[in-house]
Chain A
Amino acid sequence: MDLKYNIRMNVLKVTNLTKKFSSFTAVNNVSFDLKEGEILGLLGPNGAGKTTTIQMIIGVLTPTKGEVNYFGKNLKNNREEILEKINFSSTYTQLPWLLTVEENLKFISYLYEIKNRNERIKKLAKIFKLEKLLKEQTKDLSSGEITRVNLAKAFINYPKVLLLDEPTASLDPETAEYIRKFLLEERDQFNVSIVWTSHNMAEVEEVCDRVILINNGKIIADNTPDKLAKTIEICHVELNIPDGLKRTIEICQSKKVVYKLEGRYIIIDLKEKEIPVFLRELMDKGVFYDQISIDKPTLNDYFLQAI
């Protein structure tokens, strides 16, 4: 793990967090921490326990066991003080739909006792491209626009810790990229710490410093995206073979490697270190290929293998 994150203080510490619904254990003894300025990805398949974990971290679900501490203080006993400094945004929650965007942001700004409310709302409207939507009722917005309003709401109190549940899920690629860039800048400029859940692995790889993988309510991995991806040794080698496809298949079969045919293309699963030897053997057997691409393992490969 990067040294610069180890010397930073913990802003969130989750210890032995457990949630049982009758006999079903949704979250089982989950412990992790979040450092100042760190972006932590919380990954897992549907029903893995991510949302339950997030709910307990933001204080809207009482844990069966375990503790959530922010800035060294227990959430249960210091709820008001802590919630002033954190915020939450989810694609799946809404704001009062009859209110205009400006009215929603205004009443939320009072909840957090924000000074210079109007300036703050104006600034956030500019950042999240809501200027033309301020007078629109929330019910008339598209899902992408609502996501941007939710993000503006989440930033209204200058949060030190942000919990974002699929923050870019309903955004077009251009806006999603803009938001990712903005969040990274906020982190760099103000040391904002972020817990980020997403099903978009490429996004998590791009944005997160560290990833926690949850399955069946338990943490099964906790590392940087790079290191998790590197635990997968298999690369996908894709070759276009105008001459010698049959011979290539015979080589694959003799070496007992997995392959897949797509017309004149063959995709072969090989360990990284085996690739040069394999290509050499193709040359020796007179196989001619005119295109080659090698896909190194990604976080997505790790996710698919681990779940």
Chain B
Amino acid sequence: MKLNRIYALVLRFFFLFRHSYDRIGDAFYWPTIDLIIWGLTSSYFMTFAPNAPQIMLVILSGLMFWQIVWRAQYEITVNLLEDLWNKNLINIFVSPIKFSEWVVSFIIIGITKAALSFPFTMVVAYLLYKINIVFFGWYFIPIIFLLFMTGWWIGFFVAGLILRFGTQVQTLAWTFAWAIGPFCAMYYPVSILPLWAQKIAVFTPASYVFENAREIINNGYPDPNKFYISFMLNLIYLILSISFFYFSLKKVMKKGLIKVY
């Protein structure tokens, strides 16, 4: 892998970010709106359940952590779409770039943008509701890493679908992660899901992370097994999704990159 080539794609993202109000907006505007709406909603809930003071923390921390999943998958799919909309994929693939460098650049772009928007949401949550999630301490590391992994496999899977079926399925870039959302149990415990949904949640790596986040809020410590299960599931899905993305690219190469995009 050549760092310059990875840097080229990351640099292009920064240039685009600088010129696009859409991209700046979605890094800061939507997380703020989400925080305002859900913060007010949880304040309202608290008037009904004064004995559950953690309710706002559970909901807002779930929302902020979900930003990691969202950001990681969104940056993969939307940056791929940008290249399709711009008919730029051909310029990238006539260069000596390797598939692995392309994949790594997507991952770095997601991390970079999350590094901008996640701390921002933390500050906004503190300013608006005095909610401080810094108390997660070192547990931040496994939580954030595992949620990134979830975002990456969702992103590469959707990117593979977009490569295969083109921009006619581009709406998946915005909607697919939300289809998994209910099984991730970001605001509620897995146990309140219907039985059939609980069976799906067992295979959803992010559900273990959100369960553990609530354990930390309630008991002060997580269940390491849950992190382990989440890691293994994420790893399997990540390998499968990157393979799917790779074979989708191969399939497009058989149809012709210029013809398709």
Q: Let me know if B258 is at the binding interface, CB within 8 A.
A: yes
A80 vs B259: C-alpha distance in the bound complex, in angstroms? 23
Q: Is the CB of A60 within 8 A of B16?
A: no
Q: Is the CB of B94 within 8 A of A62?
A: no
Q: Which residues of A contact B90 (CB under 8 A)?
A: 60, 88, 90, 93
Q: Which residues of A contact B256 (CB under 8 A)?
A: 52, 55, 60-61
Q: Is the CB of B96 within 8 A of A98?
A: no
What does the 1/0 interface line of A132-170 toward B look like (CB < 8 Å)?
000001000000000000000100000000000000000
Q: Is the CB of A107 within 8 A of B12?
A: yes
Q: Which of A88, A110, A113 has the most CB of B within 10 A?
A: A110
Could you say which of A51, A84, A94, A98 contacts B87, with CB atoms under 8 Å apart?
Answer: A94
Q: Which residues of A contact B93 (CB under 8 A)?
A: 59-60
Q: Is the CB of A88 within 8 A of B94?
A: yes
A80 vs B4: C-alpha distance in the bound complex, in angstroms? 14
Q: Is the CB of A62 within 8 A of B96?
A: no
Q: Is the CB of A112 within 8 A of B16?
A: no
Q: How many whole Å from B26's CB to the nearest CB in chain A?
A: 15
Q: Is the CB of B86 within 8 A of A96?
A: yes
Q: Let me know if B98 is at the binding interface, CB within 8 A.
A: yes
Q: Let me know if A106 is at the binding interface, CB within 8 A.
A: yes
Could you say which of A88, A90, A112, A153 contacts B96, with CB atoms under 8 Å apart?
Answer: A112
Q: Let me know if A32 is at the binding interface, CB within 8 A.
A: no
A80 vs B98: C-alpha distance in the bound complex, in angstroms? 7
Q: Is the CB of B12 within 8 A of A96?
A: yes
Q: Is the CB of B94 within 8 A of A60?
A: yes
A110-B253 contact, Cβ under 8 Å, with A59-B93, A99-B12 = no
Q: Let me know if A111 is at the binding interface, CB within 8 A.
A: yes
Q: Is the CB of B16 within 8 A of A108?
A: no
A109 vs B91: C-alpha distance in the bound complex, in angstroms? 12
Q: Which residues of B contact A251 (CB under 8 A)?
A: none
Q: Is the CB of B96 within 8 A of A106?
A: no
What does the 1/0 interface line of B1-23 toward A look like (CB < 8 Å)?
01011011101100110011000
What does the 1/0 interface line of A55-69 toward B look like (CB < 8 Å)?
100111110000000
What does the 1/0 interface line of B228-261 toward A look like (CB < 8 Å)?
0000000000000000000000100111111100
Could you say which of B86, B95, B254 contacts A97, with CB atoms under 8 Å apart?
Answer: B86
Q: Which residues of A contact B19 (CB under 8 A)?
A: 98-99, 137
A21 vs B82: C-alpha distance in the bound complex, in angstroms? 27
Q: Let me know if A83 is at the binding interface, CB within 8 A.
A: yes
Q: Is the CB of A79 within 8 A of B86?
A: no
Q: Is the CB of A93 within 8 A of B9?
A: no
Q: Is the CB of A93 within 8 A of B91?
A: yes
Q: Which residue of A lies closest to B89 (CB)?
A: A60
Q: Which residues of A contact B87 (CB under 8 A)?
A: 93-94
A96-B88 contact, Cβ under 8 Å, with A51-B258, A80-B96 = yes
Q: How many whole Å from B8's CB to the nearest CB in chain A?
A: 3
A111 vs B8: C-alpha distance in the bound complex, in angstroms? 5
A106-B94 contact, Cβ under 8 Å, with A94-B87, A98-B20, A113-B4 = no
27 residue pairs from A and B, CB less than 8 Å apart: A55-B256, A55-B257, A59-B94, A60-B93, A60-B253, A60-B256, A61-B257, A61-B259, A80-B98, A83-B95, A87-B94, A94-B87, A96-B86, A98-B19, A99-B12, A99-B16, A100-B15, A106-B11, A106-B15, A107-B8, A107-B9, A108-B8, A110-B5, A111-B4, A111-B95, A111-B96, A113-B5
Q: Which residues of B contact A (CB under 8 A)?
A: 2, 4-5, 7-9, 11-12, 15-16, 19-20, 82-83, 86-88, 90-98, 250, 253-259
